[in-house]
Amino acid sequence: MTQVSPSLLSADFGRLNDDLEMINRSGADLLHLDVMDGVFVPNISFGFPVMEAVAKACRVPLDVHLMIVEPQKFTAQVAALGAKYMTVHAEACIHLDRVLHQIKDAGMQAGVALNPATPLSAVENVLDVADLILLMSVNPGFGGQKFIENTINKVTKLRCMLDEAGSKAVIEIDGGVNGDTGARLVAAGADVLVAGSYVFGASDPIATIAQLRAL
Ligand code: DX5
Ligand code: ZN
In the predicted model, what is the mean pLDDT of the chain? 98
Average the pLDDT over 139-146 and give the result: 97
Q: What is the pLDDT of residues 158-169, one digit of tens each?
A: 999 999 999 999
Q: Give the Å distance between the CA of 77 and the centre of ligand 1.
A: 23
Distances (CA, A) of 85 to 128, 130, 144: 16, 11, 23
Q: Which atom in ligand 1 lies closest to the alpha carbon of residue 196? A: 12
Confidence of residue 170 (pLDDT cuts 50, 70, 90): very high
Distance CA 8, CA 30 (A): 11
The pLDDT score that the predictor gives to residue 149 is 98
Tell me if residue 197 falls in helix, strand or coil. helix
Q: Give the Å distance between the CA of 46 and the centre of ligand 2.
A: 12
Distance CA 206, CA 52 (A): 24
Average the pLDDT over 7-33 and give the result: 98
Confidence of residue 209 (pLDDT cuts 50, 70, 90): very high
Average the pLDDT over 56-70 and give the result: 98
The pLDDT score that the predictor gives to residue 86 is 99
How many CB atoms lie under 10 A from the CB of residue 54?
22
Domains present along the chain, CATH in parentheses: 3-213 (3.20.20.70)
- Helices and strands in the chain, H and E counts: 8, 8
Closest CA to 28 of 44, 53, 11: 11
Average the pLDDT over 173-194 and give the result: 98
Give CB contacts under 8 A, 24+ apart, made by 42-46: 42/141, 43/141, 43/142, 45/9
The pLDDT score that the predictor gives to residue 7 is 98
* Closest Cα to atom 1 of ligand 1: 140
The pLDDT score that the predictor gives to residue 174 is 98
